[in-house]
């Protein structure tokens, strides 16, 4: 990834931004059932075909089945909610996954690696726990030129340029098989600004709107995922979801 794709904020500032937003969000948000997301047709099928599945940093918006998945998130509030539903859940961080090598044949991580300072270690950990031939589903925001105040507010560390992303995944043993336009970010700058201000100054009211208005509308407005081979390279695409295959080891060596 090029140096221009990194926004200069200290680890402490970045961690504080993420914790302040997501501790609040997951403490007061409702858990959304995985079947309500447009990822469900694909992920329910992949999960049924997988012996062991892992979803990293689901918050309260899991995409894999609650009863057949290992979940990990930095938020104790979120993981407590999963445990109450009988799911396997543990508090932890993506840069130090508490699982043995090659444990899972399906690994999912949505909208997280752009938040961590050391994304190389995060991807190395996802690669380490993914079995040979396994599948990784990963979503990230694209294009540094598309950076807005929303990226700062939600605690993004970077956006990715497509070729840099392809190269980085290959270094960690993943090939991108297909990708689709992804994400539920509001398009209106005024709505984003309104939401950010209320989350900061009127948290309870903002969370009521999030749970009862914005999230239901966002779920209803989801479009069916349209898959293209390889990685989408379009400057108008904000966030991309990738289906990757674990075909090699770190630094490009191949499984035999």
What is the rounded CA–CA span in Å between residue 84 and residue 77? 11
- The whole-angstrom separation of Cα 67 and Cα 127 is 23
pLDDT at 181: 95
Q: Give the H/E segment covering residue 51.
A: none
Q: What is the pLDDT of residue 253?
A: 46
Please report the pLDDT score of residue 201 as a whole number.
61
Record the pTM.
Answer: 0.81
In this predicted structure, what is the pLDDT of residue 179?
Answer: 98
The separation between CA 252 and the C-alpha centre of its own chain, rounded to angstroms, equals 24
User: Backbone dihedral region of 196: left (phi > 0), alpha (psi from -120 to 50 degrees) or beta?
Assistant: alpha
**What was the pLDDT predicted at 25?**
61
CATH architecture of the domain formed by 3-184+222-252: 3-Layer(aba) Sandwich (3.40)
pLDDT digits (tens, 9 = 90+) for 153-169: 777 899 999 999 999 99
Sign of CA dihedral 2, 3, 5, 9: positive
Partners of residue 242 on adjacent β-strands: 138, 179
Low-confidence ranges of the chain (pLDDT < 70): 1-28, 184-204, 206-212, 249-256
Place of tokens 């909208």: 111
Q: Where are the domains of the chain?
A: 3-184+222-252
Q: What pLDDT does residue 3 have?
A: 37
Q: Which two tokens stand for residue 236?
A: 């108008």
pLDDT at res. 1: 42
């Amino acid at each position: 990834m090029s140096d221009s794709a990194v926004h200069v904020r200290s680890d402490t500032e970045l961690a504080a931004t993420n914790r302040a937003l997501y501790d609040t969000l997951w403490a007061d948000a409702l858990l959304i059932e995985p079947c309500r997301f447009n990822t469900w047709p694909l992920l329910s099928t992949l999960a049924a075909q997988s012996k062991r599945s892992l979803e990293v940093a689901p918050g309260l918006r899991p995409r894999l089945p609650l009863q057949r998945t290992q979940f990990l998130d930095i938020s104790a509030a979120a993981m407590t909610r999963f445990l109450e539903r009988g799911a396997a859940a543990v508090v932890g961080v993506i840069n130090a996954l508490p699982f043995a090598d090659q444990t899972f044949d399906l690994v999912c991580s949505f909208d997280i690696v752009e938040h961590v300072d050391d994304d190389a270690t995060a991807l190395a950990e996802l690669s380490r726990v993914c079995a040979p031939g396994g599948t990784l589903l990963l979503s990230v925001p694209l294009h540094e030129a598309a950076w807005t105040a929303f990226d700062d507010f939600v605690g993004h560390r970077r956006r990715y340029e497509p070729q840099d992303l392809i190269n980085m995944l290959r270094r960690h043993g993943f090939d991108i098989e297909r990708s689709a336009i992804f994400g539920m970010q509001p398009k209106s700058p005024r709505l984003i600004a309104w939401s950010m201000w209320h989350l900061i100054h009127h948290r309870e009211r903002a969370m009521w709107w999030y749970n009862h208005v914005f999230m239901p509308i966002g779920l209803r407005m989801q479009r069916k995922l349209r898959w293209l081979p390889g990685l989408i390279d379009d400057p108008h695409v904000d966030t991309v979801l990738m289906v990757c295959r674990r075909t090699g080891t770190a630094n490009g060596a191949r499984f035999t």
